[in-house]
Amino acid sequence: MARSRVSLSTGTSKGLVLDLIRTLGPISRTDLAAETGLTAATMSNVVRQLLDEGLIHETGLGRPNGGRPVVLLEVDTSARYAVGLQLGGESITYVVVNLRGAVVGRLRAPGVGASEPTAMVAGLVEQIRVILLGLGIDEQLVVGIGVVAPGPVDIARGMVFGPAHMEAWKDVPLRDLIAEATGLPVVFDNDATAAALGDFWGGATEGARAHATVYMGLGVGAGVLIDGTVFRGASSNSAEIGHIVIATDASGRALVAEDVADPTAVVRTAHENPDEVTRLGLTGDDFTQFTAIAKASARGDAFATGLLEASARHLATAVTSLANLFDLDSITLAGPAFAIAGAIYLRVIDAQVNADFFARSRHGIRVRLSPQLQDAAAVGAATLVLQSELAPRTMGLAGPSD
Amino acid sequence: MARSRVSLSTGTSKGLVLDLIRTLGPISRTDLAAETGLTAATMSNVVRQLLDEGLIHETGLGRPNGGRPVVLLEVDTSARYAVGLQLGGESITYVVVNLRGAVVGRLRAPGVGASEPTAMVAGLVEQIRVILLGLGIDEQLVVGIGVVAPGPVDIARGMVFGPAHMEAWKDVPLRDLIAEATGLPVVFDNDATAAALGDFWGGATEGARAHATVYMGLGVGAGVLIDGTVFRGASSNSAEIGHIVIATDASGRALVAEDVADPTAVVRTAHENPDEVTRLGLTGDDFTQFTAIAKASARGDAFATGLLEASARHLATAVTSLANLFDLDSITLAGPAFAIAGAIYLRVIDAQVNADFFARSRHGIRVRLSPQLQDAAAVGAATLVLQSELAPRTMGLAGPSD
């Protein structure tokens, strides 16, 4: 899988124009010039380059403002693709998106677990190759791979620092290993941040001024978008709601959301009651057991429902803190855990957050399941690499509204 | 106190140029043109206006780049002034700042307490008049008044929504009443947000990517600056750390920082022990009693020190959540309560936050007392009105780095 032969040079004007055609097209050269402030000569030059590289094409004549007919431009949706890879202890999700950010292929595989990373990278790369082959996509058309994992992450060095259930991956130069094995540009980020971007591209954050995507795999995190821009803080490890205090235990010890709310904690709590564990037949890794608990709850099992509701209430406390500190007006729930047990979490979190948050006299908070419940982080990962390779001016920003 | 006769029209170019001269001056016209990208003709025109209005003057010749001598421009520090007014249950602070944002006068008065707001506004206005008279400042040179109060606030309507100890002020059109009584522009904001701006102008946030000023009067809040820009969220009620859950009580009820950490809570906790209240002679309003507890602690009193340390530990939990969610690298403590008991809070918060925060493997968090411990919010209020009247392009932003 060699680097695409077509040079996708990342000049600012070109990225900007491509991004506008992608989000506003079909659009005329005149309207593009008006949107960008570029001179007619520069615009003509940039459009020519994009046509030559096959990234856009002319769609014929249109009358966008009701005037005389003009030639309209739009992106060639299948001119380039990007791969998004979400690495989690519970699952690995691969997606392939086209130049518009729409998903054209997806695959879910068992999670990273205790796998040895260096060897596993070869497997990931092979899997990407097989998916592209199955989709009939020429590897030359892939602009890069976006890889996301649970925080804390080191974006500068492209590696994860944890969490506990991915201990073997700590301090492994993941981005560089994947880049080396594929010859493709690789962008690395926090899974929750990517999920927020995925929700943005999927339209789920529309109308929000301050939005958070709460992302739950085996652990839980969040990504925040302010007016469509990713909130990163000092080191892109912001919005880590799994690590904020939400209660104290009987002996006065502080409990964080990760201790009592995430799927790992749900399973641990279940095992405090061995009879119920036996009755429900809980075995296997944590995510398998969490899935079994969710299924039992869906059948009406009171013990299982009690576990999930307690988890949801604790998580709601953390989400309320998030809402109070960022003054949120929109929240989505995304990730593998919500894909399995989203309804119960949505009900509890929506009710508790809207009853308790500080600025409730000023505005409400819209709480919803992500329309890309399982895939938001992988889709966000793929759009990150589309952005950074094709429209670098908006790197770190969230997309069209910028 | 009539509106200044000199029209401070708020055109973008003029505000921009004045702001640059204020922060970079003495500076030449050539360097200004380079900084702004304005044409020589526009620059010449704008500088002429500023000279005519007496906001800047020529300082004579300089050789800023070692070349031939050129005329340098700098602001006329005493050409205009702004008033900052911090309204709190515990105290009212008035400051007057000059065109550089430096404090030229200050006054502290007893807090708002249960005062009736409409009548009190007349008192505030009279007090401002007296201060300006004492400083020998012509009221015509005052560009406006910045007023700040504890959240939640309604910035659009210019009024407070609480807190409990300012119940009488709820839903009073404060901004409009003060504007009417003075004939001056009035800007209204959250006290903690203003304190963060005050710290920015005072240089305390230098080098920070993600900074929070924790502001404590009778209650506690925070203001966040990201790369020098105020973080506002959906309704400018962000970073409300007094209202996030930090523990649960013996019966499992959620406790927020306001329940157990702020000065009101410290006094309430003290009164659970009537013998100690008698021994320490605690009487009067909450802030007077908090002050007495801080003084007793400074004398080595174990009970008083225990109260403050418990409060500091609870507050540290809330501040750690703030640090984890915003991925902070800098924190200052400001406000009347820290002016009285800052040392003990600084010690506990610095130790606990740096031991516990999530991204500690990536970077440290600098925790310090604000250099404007008592005045940060009032100074921030005054700089808000300077910004909005003189350099509106940066309204809502924090100043020179933008």
pLDDT at A326 over 90: yes
Q: Which of A309, A310, A321, A311 is nearest to A353 (CA)?
A: A321
Q: Does A190 touch chain B (CB under 8 A)?
A: no
**Residue A246 contacts B, CB cutoff 8 Å:** yes
Residue A233 and residue B226: Cβ atoms within 8 Å? yes
Residue-by-residue DSSP string for A263-300: HHHHHHHHTTSHHHHHHHT--SSHHHHHHHHHHHHHTT
Asked if A226's CB is within 8 angstroms of B328's CB, the reply is no
- A319 Cβ under 8 Å from any chain B Cβ: no
B232 interfaces chain A, CB cutoff of 8 Å:
yes
Beta strand ranges found along A177-285 (DSSP E): 186-190, 210-216, 220-226, 229-230, 245-248, 254-256
- Domains of chain B (ranges plus CATH)? 12-75 (1.10.10.10), 81-198+377-394 (3.30.420.40), 206-370 (3.30.420.40)
The answer to whether A359 faces chain B, any CB pair under 8 Å, is yes
Q: What is the mean pLDDT of residues B1-20?
A: 54
User: Confidence class of residue B11 from pLDDT cuts 50, 70 and 90?
Assistant: very low
Asked if A243 lies within 8 A of B317 by C-beta distance, the reply is no
The residues that bridge with A255 in the sheet, in sequence order, are A247
Q: Is A212 on the interface with B (CB under 8 A)?
A: no
**The pLDDT value given to residue A162:** 67
- Identify the pLDDT of residue B112: 73
Q: Mind listing the pLDDT tens digit for each residue in A5-46? A: 222 333 467 777 887 888 788 898 888 888 777 778 888 888
The reply to whether A156 touches chain B by the CB within 8 Å rule is no
Reported as a single tens digit per residue, the pLDDT across A150-185 is 877 888 888 877 666 677 777 788 899 999 999 999
Tell me how many degrees the CA angle B42-B43-B49 measures, rounded to the nearest 5. 90
Q: Do B329 and A234 touch (CB under 8 A)?
A: yes
Structure tokens at A163: 């969490």
B235 or B296: which leads in pLDDT: B296
Choose from A370-384, B51-65, B144-158 the range with maximum mean pLDDT: A370-384
Q: Test A321 with B244 for CB contact under 8 angstroms.
A: yes
Q: How far is A329 from chain B (nearest CA, A)?
A: 6
Between residues A38 and B364, the one the model is more confident about: B364
Q: Of A197-211, B210-224, B329-343, which gets the smallest average pLDDT?
A: A197-211
Rounded mean pLDDT of B304-315? 97
Give phi and psi for A35, each to the nearest 5: -65, -35
How close B114 gets to chain A, by Cα (Å)? 22
Mean pLDDT over each residue of chain A, to the nearest integer: 87
- Judge whether A216 is closer than 8 Å to chain B, CB to CB: no
For residue B14, give how far its alpha carbon lies from the nearest alpha carbon of chain A (Å). Answer: 23
Task: Tell whether A325 is within 8 A of chain B (Cβ).
Answer: yes
Of A161, A321, A358, the CB nearest to B237: A358
- Determine the pLDDT at residue B41: 82
Residues of B within 8 A of A205 (CB-CB) are: none
As a whole number of angstroms, the distance between CA B310 and CA B289 comes to: 17
Angstrom distance (rounded) from CA A3 to CA B207: 39
pLDDT tier, B86 (very low <50, low <70, confident <90, very high otherwise): very high
Distance of residue A358 Cα from the nearest chain B Cα, in angstroms: 7
Report yes or no: A239 at the B interface, CB cutoff 8 Å.
yes
Closest Cα in chain A to B363: A235
B237 interface with A at CB cutoff 8 Å: yes
Report the pLDDT value the prediction gives residue A282, as an integer from 0 to 100: 97
Name the residue among B226, B243, B248 with its Cβ closest to that of A358.
Answer: B243
Nearest CA in chain B to A319: B244
Higher pLDDT, B222 or A3: B222
Q: Across A38-42, A233-237, B330-334, which has the greatest mean pLDDT?
A: B330-334
Total beta-carbon pairs less than 8 A apart between chain A and chain B: 136
Over the stretch A98-113, which tens digit does the pLDDT of each residue have?
Answer: 988 889 999 998 877 6
CB contact under 8 A, B359 and A235: yes
| pLDDT grade for B164, boundaries at 50, 70 and 90 | low
Winning range, highest mean pLDDT, from B102-106, B107-111, B294-298, B358-362: B294-298
Lowest mean pLDDT among A328-337, A374-383, B102-111: B102-111
CB contact under 8 A, A245 and B243: no
pLDDT score of B314 more than 50: yes
> A362 phi and psi, to 5 degrees?
-100, -40
Residues in chain B: 402
Q: Which residues contact B217 (CB under 8 A, 6 or more apart)?
A: B88, B89, B90, B91, B111, B150, B191, B263, B287, B335, B336, B337
CB contact under 8 A, B247 and A244: no
Give A364's contacts in chain B (Cβ within 8 Å): none
Q: How close B242 comes to chain A (CA, Å)?
A: 10
**Does the beta-carbon distance from A233 to B152 stay under 8 Å?**
no
Q: A51 with A57: CB under 8 angstroms?
A: yes
d(CA A324, CA A303): 32
In chain B the first and final C-alpha atoms are separated, in Å, by: 33
Whether B35 shows a pLDDT value over 70: the answer reads: yes
**What's the pLDDT score for residue B12?**
63
- pLDDT for A114: 66
pLDDT confidence tier of residue A402, bands split at 50, 70 and 90:
very low
B113 has pLDDT over 70: no
Q: Which among A235, A244, A324 has CB closest to B362? A: A235
Each residue's pLDDT tens digit, A121-133: 888 999 999 999 9
Which letter does DSSP use for residue A192 in this model?
A: H
Please judge whether B327 and A246 are an interchain contact, meaning their C-beta atoms are less than 8 angstroms apart. no
CA-nearest residue to B208 within chain A is: A234
Task: Output the pLDDT for position A400.
Answer: 31
| Distance (Å) from the alpha carbon of B224 to chain A's nearest alpha carbon | 10
Q: At what angle do helices B302-326 and B263-270 cross, to 10 degrees?
A: 150
Q: Is the CB of A363 inside 8 Å of chain B's CB atoms?
A: yes
Chain B environment of A362 (Cβ under 8 Å): 152, 154, 161, 235, 237
- ipTM for the complex shown: 0.77
Length of chain A: 402
Q: Is B368 an interface residue toward A (CB < 8 Å)?
A: no
Q: Which of B243, B245, B327 sits opposite A237 (nearest CB)?
A: B327
Greatest mean pLDDT among A337-346, B11-20, B200-209: A337-346
Question: Is a pLDDT exceeding 50 seen at residue A96?
Answer: yes
- How many angstroms away from the CA of B247 is the closest CA of chain A? 4
Give the minimum alpha-carbon distance from A64 to chain B in angstroms, rounded to a whole number: 33
Q: Does B193 touch chain A (CB under 8 A)?
A: no
Say yes or no for a CB contact (<8 Å) between B244 and A161: no
Q: Is A182 on the interface with B (CB under 8 A)?
A: no
Distance CA A191, CA A149 (A): 5
Q: By mean pLDDT, which of A36-40, A57-61, B107-111, B251-255 is the weakest?
A: A36-40
According to the model, what pLDDT value does residue B3 have? 32
**B363 at the A interface (CB within 8 A)?**
yes
**Residue A245: which of B154, B246, B329 has the nearest Cβ?**
B246
Say whether residue B154 is in contact with chain A using an 8 A CB cutoff: yes
Q: What is the sign, positive or negative, of the torsion defined by CA atoms of B386, B388, B392, B397?
A: positive
pLDDT value of position A13: 77
pLDDT (tens digit per residue) in A237-294: 889 999 999 999 888 889 999 999 999 999 999 999 999 999 999 999 999 999 999 9
SS3 label, residue A2: coil
Angle between helices B263-270 and B286-298 (to 10 degrees): 80
Q: Which among A233, A241, A321 has CB closest to B327? A: A233
